[in-house]
Amino acid sequence: MPIEMLSGFTANISMETQIQQNRRYTTIQLDIIHTGDCLEILKTLPDDSVHCCVTSPPYYALRDYGMEAQIGRETTPKEYISRLTEVFTEVRRVLRPDGTLWLNISDTYAGKGNQGDFIDPKNPNGRNGQAVALNNKVEGCKPKDMIGIPWLLAFALRADGWYLRSDIIWLKENPMPESCRDRPSRCYEHIFLLTKSKKYYYDAAAIAEPIAPGTAARYRQGRGAGHKYAEEVPGQGKVQGINQPRSGGYYDDALIPTTRNKRDVWLINTVPYKGGHFAAYPPKLAETCILAGCPAGGVVLDPFFGSGTTGLAAQSLDRRYIGIELNAEYCALAGARIGGGNT
């Protein structure tokens, strides 16, 4: 069908080509919450337009939000991974070349799940929002097997073109209680750091952590030449400054570093949230990702916006945000929580 182009002439072009051309002339809206299917809304955003994406998609077979286009209720893990890969392909297009993706995801067990095929008459929607579990039969898994969802997704995204840079463990001292007695209770989730390019924005100083007291004490002490680290260790390169021979007092307090590069286990406890959302993650988690992955004044995207924690964190750190959420009730909840416009 002939379509009038902005340059003034007409041509027969495909719908996909039309979408690509429309993106060029799209003025991106900031501090906004879009209501609708994240994949379709992502397709309207211009290329290379956001600095960072911080998000947590619905976990597989955990909750039923009652939405027709929801993610997480697919028949198989393969379908779930495929849909998420499609979403994050669009996220990669929208990210700037130096952009980063911070992806929170957790695993699911094969088996009956929380309800199996049984519907509790006292809780017809299930205690966690699902009436019938979908993980009771998973190809390749025995009942009670961990499915391995986080790594299935990470490897799928890597195969799709993302650089898989880090597997961060989000450790919680106050995790959700579990009734299991035949394995340790879970107290962590994964946060994958993925990047669009080999070189990318990462502000290590912004999230650096204090050095251990024992490290500071080692700097103050003398160091003889006979210890095992006084020479180069194969594969390590030159001898670290802290291990080089020196007399006591060589490093005074002014020369001793006060911070170290942040490790990949982050102890961040969950915090109470009174809003009607099942899975709001703590603001400190989003803040840490944003500080490392988005420059001041930059734009943070969350295609699974939920109750708006990513937007709240971005606002508090003088960044801009774009939120996308399928559930209109959650959009209203997020809007009341952080302000901003809704579409």
Is 268 found in the same domain as 242? Answer: no
Is 228 found in the same domain as 95? Answer: no
The one-character DSSP state at 173 is S
Is 165 found in the same domain as 45? Answer: yes
pLDDT given at position 111:
77
Is 160 found in the same domain as 302? Answer: yes
116: left (phi over 0), alpha (psi -120 to 50) or beta: left
In residues, how long is the chain? 343
Neighbours of 291 (CB within 10 A): 18
For residue 183, give the 3-state DSSP assignment. Answer: coil
Nearest C-alpha neighbor of 27 from the set 10, 53, 14, 46? 46
> Helix crossing, 309-316 with 328-338: angle to 10°?
20
Token pair of 151, please? 């790594």
DSSP notation for 294-334: S-TT-EEEESS-TT-HHHHHHHHTT-EEEEEES-HHHHHHH
Q: Is residue 19 part of a domain?
A: no
pLDDT given at position 273:
73
Q: Give dist(CA 259, CA 252) in Å, integer.
A: 15
For the chain, what is the domain count? 2
Strands 163-171, 265-267: pairing is parallel
Query: Quick check: 160 and 88 in contact, CB under 8 A?
Result: yes
Q: Containing domain of residue 152, as a range?
A: 29-107+146-178+185-208+261-343
Within a 13 Å sphere around the CA of 37, how many CA atoms are in the beta-carbon half? Answer: 13
Query: Quick check: 245 and 221 in contact, CB under 8 A?
Result: no
Is 336 found in the same domain as 229? Answer: no
Token pair of 329, please? 């009730």
pLDDT given at position 198:
97
Q: Is residue 174 part of a domain?
A: yes
Query: Quick check: 206 and 292 in contact, CB under 8 A?
Result: yes
Largest CA distance in the chain: 81
What share of residues in the chain are helix, strand, coil (percent, to 5)?
25, 20, 55
Is 83 found in the same domain as 171? Answer: yes
Is 173 found in the same domain as 95? Answer: yes
The pLDDT profile of the chain, 343 residues, written as one tens digit per residue, is: 222 223 233 334 455 554 454 555 457 899 999 999 999 999 999 999 999 999 999 999 877 777 788 998 888 999 999 999 999 999 999 999 999 999 999 998 887 544 444 455 555 555 455 555 566 678 889 888 999 999 999 999 999 999 999 999 999 999 988 888 999 999 999 999 999 999 999 999 999 999 988 887 877 776 666 666 666 777 767 767 666 766 666 667 777 888 999 999 999 999 877 665 555 789 999 999 999 999 999 999 999 999 999 999 999 999 999 999 999 999 999 999 998 677 7
CATH number at residue 50: 3.40.50.150
Q: Give dist(CA 165, CA 151) in Å, integer.
A: 13
- The residues that bridge with 105 in the sheet, in sequence order, are 190
Query: Quick check: 77 and 147 in contact, CB under 8 A?
Result: yes
Is 245 found in the same domain as 170? Answer: no
